[in-house]
Amino acid sequence: MHDGCSGSFSSGKQVVDKVRMMGFNIQPMPMPLEIHCEQCDDNFMMQNFEGKCPKCSMVYGVTPCHAFDPSNVVAAGIDY
């Protein structure tokens, strides 16, 4: 089921699962975002709708509708 841009998620895992289910996880975002990792306190550039911190392997995701702002990127877990 596709909720368009109105879908709501209660966890980062749900966001990453949705992005993977729709096949967007390996697609590049319109513009890369600099993400501050909540696990290791490092910054990295997130290129795709699913990204992984190169320092600690925390996985992050964002839906295409919300990929314009780093505050919409959510953590799913280490090596999720």
Structure tokens at 37: 């990792």
Q: Is the pLDDT of residue 2 over 80?
A: no
Provide the β-strand partners of residue 60.
51, 75
Cβ 12 vs Cβ 77: under 8 Å: yes
Residue 1 has pLDDT above 80, yes or no: no
Question: Mapped to the 3 state alphabet, what secondary structure does 25-71 carry?
Answer: CCCEEEEEEEEECCCCCCEEEEEECEEECCCCCEEEECCHHHCCCHH
CA-CA-CA-CA torsion sign (35, 67, 24, 74): positive
pLDDT at 4 over 70: no
pLDDT in tens, 40-73: 999 999 999 999 999 999 999 999 999 999 999 9
